[in-house]
Structure 1
Amino acid sequence: MAAEVQPLPLVRGPPGPAPLTADQSYWKSFKNQLLLPSPHNSGVTSITIPDFKPTGAQADTFAVTSGSRVQIYNTKTRKLVKTISRFGVDDTARSGALRRDGRILLAGGDSGVVQAFDTGSRAILRQWRGEHGHKQAVHCVRWNPKVLTDLMSVSDDRTVRVWDLTEDVAKWTGIGHEDYVRSGCYLPGQDGMIATGSYDQTVRLWDTRQPGNARPALTFKHAAPIENLLPLSSSMLASAAGNEVTVLNLIAGKVEHIIRSHQKTVTSLGVGENGTRLLTGGLDGHIKVHNTANWQVVAGIKYASPILSLSVISSGVKETTREDRHLAVGLQTGLLSIRTRLAGAEKVRAREKTKRMDALIAGEADDYERKQRKKDMRQGIRARDRGKDYRGEGADLIVDGNDRTRQKPLRPWQQSLRTGKYARALDQVLTPDRTHGFSNEDTITLLTTLRHREALRTALADRSEAQLLPILRWILKNINHARHVKTIYEVVMVLLDLYSPRLAAWQELEDEDAKDVLQLIKRIGSRVRKGADYAGQACNTIGMMELMGLEVG
């Protein structure tokens, strides 16, 4: 019998590219790459950003260390704002780190010297070297995230030291590593706890509140030398050893997960998307983005040369609303790569520019411009100018002058001020009518203007007791406002200079207005004395806190 004829299998073409995931789209949005060469083509070994502080002054800069200098860049403009190169001829700078207020830069070096620089003048504020310093290269220095004057350093002499910016001798020294110590960090939310990584293949946790030369509180053994450490939370720590990244659970004292996504040594670690993504960079030129929920790779970026350092630079005031702005990567070839994530109006402009360029390449530029004009007409952008177009022969030509915005009518006190009637303007702003209303800003504006015109004495002179009452009541009401202290102080001094000779006469009068004036003056004096007492107590408290080593502010 003949064999059964089987139907031919369908010929299927190769599958197309898979659609981008949300994470891939997010990290691909870091565009507009800026490549900056280092001064001597030395590898970019460190990129650090100041520790974030929810309140208070916050620096808009980041530090890049390469060769024998540390460069400071502005996070908003991506431009170089300062270069610090006060290192030895044969020295190499290491781990330049800005304090969170951006005023002091800390740096180590191959000579073993730890230095603190004033970023404004580039002056050396402090050096730790010689008998009381490290004996070999210092590859990592870090600021205490809570105490502005505390810092740590780790060295190839196998020691870990904690310093006070105002002292010449280390306040704490940790001894226990058996090889070079190349990485270290403070643990957030854990006062006095630091972690260090060494080429003896261990990560050690130290309690710096214990006496110096104490043994480590916890030790984790790895399979390769430790290249970098990154705290993920108060209880989680990521360590890069060889081509693996180990996530350590510090409370349980065990390994939480081991990430094996690189082919070569992992040199740098970073966090993005408010701590929900872990970034790893290695000598294979890859940056891998991992989801911290399951530690799976969700995105990646390839560079042309080995990666030595990386940092995700965020922008925003509040920690919960901070957004990733730049991805800064330091390469072994000496290039600093800064990719910026476009947002808002910048993103819209970039999208329109891309569409226009695609239409030009495809030979459809005229069609694209025609569609854009129609779109603009629909949105009313050009509709407002339709009456001004030249329509050809016989059309009416209309020349419009500059449109002048209609000014608001002046208030009565503003009219009096314009005509030089200062006393009347002050009366009007303190006793307004029902038509024009009254606000505290009007009074402050008028008094400030009178100060600048040196007309305050003219406005306050020759007043009766009844005319003094409104200004005294206003002073009593606003004397506790810190923003108005300078203005109120000058008003009070002028009033005392003008009317102090009449105080004795007012005390003998039976007039109700005179009694009210005296009563208001006494209340103002009492309020001033109470404020001075509060200020003295605050100064004493601040002094005691500084003696105890506590941070003020």
Structure 2
Amino acid sequence: MAAEVTPLEQVRVPVAPSALTADQKYWASFSSQLLLPSQNSAPIINIYSSSASQYKSASSVTPTSSYIAITTSQRIQLLSPQTLKQVKSITRGGTNSSPYHSAQVRRDGRICILGTDSGQVQTYDTNSRAILKQWDEHKQPVWVTKWHPKDLIGAMSCSDDGTVRLWDLPSEASTWKGYGHRDYVRCGTFLGDGNLIATGSYDQTIRVWDPRIDGGNSEGNTSSRATVMQFKLKAPVEAILALPGGNTLVGAAGEKIAVLDLVAGRPLHSMQNHQKTITSLAVASHVAGIKYPSPVLSLDVVTAGPQKEDRHLCVGTQSGLLSIRTRLTESVMKARKEKEKEMTALMEGKIDEYDQRQQKKKGRGWEKRLRGTKDYIGEGADIIIDGDAGRKRGKKGATWDVALRKLQYGLALDLAVNSGDNIGILTVLTALVHRSALKTALSDRDSHTLKPILKWLNKHIMNMQFIRLKADTAMLVLELYAERIGENLEFDEQIKELHNKVRQSCEVAQSCLGTLGMISLLEADGGSDR
């Protein structure tokens, strides 16, 4: 019984490492940055976005407007996330006016709450820019003001006076006070549905508060019963961030980031990549490192869409520049790539070929739909198209594989080269070398049958993959047909091009050898020093 003939196994080309990681490719999809200078180059100390997707699951209230709030000195700018242009501005001038430190627009887009350097907490109507409420209980600058995640009239504030306070919009005074921090309170946030509060202080602690418990009655009360959890860090806490779910808290202390498990009440791990103090935290879908020319004071990632995808990366700097990088949608990226292909074809004089390819793509749309239909029955059942009819037949083997089995080596090489399949060509050449039949396959050719082989060699000779196989093939061609140089102009041009490509490869190899020699000397010197 004869053994079954199996198809020739194709060679495997080693996969080169990707030039960019998945995270780098993701952040490369962000467009070039838009730079917006602040008035009088004032540092941008706070950025906060209130987008519709942010609060979709937090409340039944649907935002009517969304803003990116930018805080600079005595001015609050409200930018549109769609156009990135200023739509509102809140400014209070005069000698007695106090710089703003924080701003957040309520999720319905109607009211903005602010914290000032004088200790005041103010709320503004975003349409009329009129002051709706002003509280003066804090004795020192207020660096944090945030709206309750569910209650439209609830808010919180944190101050350099060491206190944390909750506010009710109709009330004339704070509804809850938290005492316990022994230094400036520079960051704070609601946790989960807003029943708990987390704050960070320059006393190197992060406290978790339960406002349903009395927070203390005097500034001297440092053992408040409302503190349900406390974490001690190694540096002043500049920023904290509650991760989605409300069970994990991230705190920035010095140049380190601490990840805290609120369920177990213990730190999970610490991260350190920055060289200087971390001033702001935000949640992003991927990890990236981006360098800015000036110290970064504030940042936020603006999300959009039902999947809450990253849309804008907003960064505020000490120099007063607001940097906004926008992530391009998939459709925009496809259109941009297609435009680049069109411009390349235009520059190379191949615009007619490009137009023909585009017309073919458009024409194939209906064909693809019909192929994907198992049984398409036309009106009155006059036309029946079986989309899977051709798939029931077995897969036909490569034609060059059949020629190899019949020992037709020259034909097998021609079929592989004419197919344009690089893997197939390398597979055939490898098989011919193993069978000592490469010379037979290349012999008795004229300039017409040699042309595709030389063209393939010229295209791929500088690729280092399978370089030995390509070099042996080129050497054999020259050995067999060197005497024909000068007889055919087209053949001479191909040989000249091959010569230039090989010379360029040799120059690159020579440079690499020189570099390798220098590295060897350095390694030798290092070994002698030790």
Q: What TM-score do you get using the length of structure 1 for normalisation?
A: 0.58
Alignment of 1:141-220 (within 5 A): 141-189=145-193, 191-213=194-216, 214-215=224-225, 216-220=227-231
Q: Which residue of 1 aligns with 2:318?
A: 332
State the distance in 1 between where 2:139 and 2:171 align. 18
State the distance in 1 between where 2:155 and 2:362 align. 60
SS of aligned partner of 2:290: strand
| Superposed displacement of residue 348, structure 1 | 2.2
Of residues 235, 238, 243, the one that matches 1:224 is 235
Q: Which residue of 1 aligns with 2:135?
A: 128
State the distance in 2 between where 1:235 and 1:342 align. 32
Does structure 1 residue 305 correspond to structure 2 residue 294? yes
| Superposed displacement of residue 380, structure 1 | 5.3
Q: What is the identity, as a one-letter code, of the residue corresponding to 2:138?
A: H
Q: Which residue of 1 aligns with 2:101?
A: 94
| Superposed displacement of residue 52, structure 1 | 1.5
| Superposed displacement of residue 327, structure 1 | 0.9
State the distance in 2 between where 1:116 and 1:122 align. 9
* TM-superposition CA deviations, 1:395-425 (whole Å, max 9, x none): xxxxxxxxxxxxxxxxxxxxxxxxxxxxxxx
Q: What TM-score do you get using the length of structure 2 for normalisation?
A: 0.60
Higher relative contact order (CA 8 A, sep 6+): 2
Structure 2: 5+ residue runs without aligned partners? 1-15, 217-223, 364-530
SS of aligned partner of 1:300: coil
* TM-superposition CA deviations, 1:274-305 (whole Å, max 9, x none): xxx5xxxxxxxxxxx2xxxxxxxxx3222222
State the distance in 1 between where 2:161 and 2:101 align. 15
| Superposed displacement of residue 88, structure 1 | 5.6
Q: What is the identity, as a one-letter code, of the residue corresponding to 1:201?
A: Q
State the distance in 2 between where 1:36 and 1:127 align. 30
Q: Is contact 1:113-1:138 (8 Å) kept?
A: yes
Does structure 1 residue 67 correspond to structure 2 residue 81? no
Q: Which residue of 2 aligns with 1:367?
A: 349
Q: What is the identity, as a one-letter code, of the residue corresponding to 2:238?
A: E
State the distance in 1 between where 2:295 and 2:350 align. 42
Taking structure 1 as reference, are residues 380 and 209 closer, same or farther at Cα in structure 2, changes over 3 Å only?
closer
Q: Which residue of 1 aligns with 2:43?
A: 43
Does structure 1 residue 255 correspond to structure 2 residue 293? no
Q: Is contact 2:258-2:267 (8 Å) kept?
A: yes
| Superposed displacement of residue 85, structure 1 | 0.8
State the distance in 1 between where 2:350 and 2:118 align. 62
State the distance in 1 between where 2:93 and 2:249 align. 32
Q: Which residue of 2 aligns with 1:502?
A: none
Taking structure 1 as reference, are residues 327 and 269 closer, same or farther at Cα in structure 2, changes over 3 Å only?
same
State the distance in 1 between where 2:144 and 2:340 align. 43
State the distance in 1 between where 2:213 and 2:66 align. 35
State the distance in 2 between where 1:88 and 1:309 align. 26
Q: Is contact 1:53-1:100 (8 Å) kept?
A: no
* TM-superposition CA deviations, 1:58-99 (whole Å, max 9, x none): 233221111111111111111110001136645211111011
Taking structure 1 as reference, are residues 353 and 88 closer, same or farther at Cα in structure 2, changes over 3 Å only?
farther
State the distance in 1 between where 2:235 and 2:94 align. 32
| Superposed displacement of residue 261, structure 1 | 1.1
Q: Is contact 2:342-2:354 (8 Å) kept?
A: no
Alignment of 1:422-433 (within 5 A): none
Q: What is the identity, as a one-letter code, of the residue corresponding to 1:99?
A: R
| Superposed displacement of residue 102, structure 1 | 0.9
Of residues 85, 104, 110, the one that matches 1:103 is 110
| Superposed displacement of residue 212, structure 1 | 3.5
Taking structure 1 as reference, are residues 47 and 376 closer, same or farther at Cα in structure 2, changes over 3 Å only?
same
State the distance in 2 between where 1:202 and 1:212 align. 17
Aligned CA-pair RMSD: 2.1
State the distance in 2 between where 1:377 and 1:252 align. 62
Of residues 284, 288, 292, the one that matches 1:272 is 284
Aligned length: 333
Q: Which residue of 1 aligns with 2:360?
A: 378
SS of aligned partner of 1:256: strand
| Superposed displacement of residue 374, structure 1 | 2.3
Q: Which residue of 1 aligns with 2:432?
A: none
State the distance in 1 between where 2:294 and 2:339 align. 30
Q: Which moved more, 1:78-87 or 1:253-262?
A: 78-87
Q: Which residue of 2 aligns with 1:31?
A: 31
State the distance in 2 between where 1:334 and 1:204 align. 32
State the distance in 1 between where 2:291 and 2:265 align. 34
Q: Which moved more, 1:367-376 or 1:175-184?
A: 367-376
* TM-superposition CA deviations, 1:109-159 (whole Å, max 9, x none): 111111100001101100011xxx101100111111011101000001111
* TM-superposition CA deviations, 1:335-374 (whole Å, max 9, x none): 11111111143222322344456x39xxx70435333222
SS of aligned partner of 1:166: coil
Q: What is the identity, as a one-letter code, of the residue corresponding to 2:263?
A: I
State the distance in 2 between where 1:380 and 1:204 align. 61
Taking structure 1 as reference, are residues 88 and 138 closer, same or farther at Cα in structure 2, changes over 3 Å only?
farther
Q: Is contact 2:35-2:323 (8 Å) kept?
A: yes
Q: Which residue of 2 aligns with 1:348?
A: 334
Q: What is the identity, as a one-letter code, of the residue corresponding to 2:347?
A: A
State the distance in 2 between where 1:354 and 1:120 align. 43
Identity of aligned pairs, percent? 46
Q: Is contact 1:82-1:119 (8 Å) kept?
A: yes
* TM-superposition CA deviations, 1:222-258 (whole Å, max 9, x none): 1110000100131110000000000011121111110
SS of aligned partner of 1:339: strand
Q: Is contact 1:40-1:67 (8 Å) kept?
A: no
Structure 1: 5+ residue runs without aligned partners? 1-15, 278-288, 290-298, 382-553
State the distance in 1 between where 2:259 and 2:188 align. 15
Q: Is contact 1:87-1:93 (8 Å) kept?
A: no
SS of aligned partner of 1:245: strand
State the distance in 2 between where 1:368 and 1:313 align. 41
Q: Which residue of 1 aligns with 2:372?
A: none
* TM-superposition CA deviations, 1:46-65 (whole Å, max 9, x none): 11122523343223322111
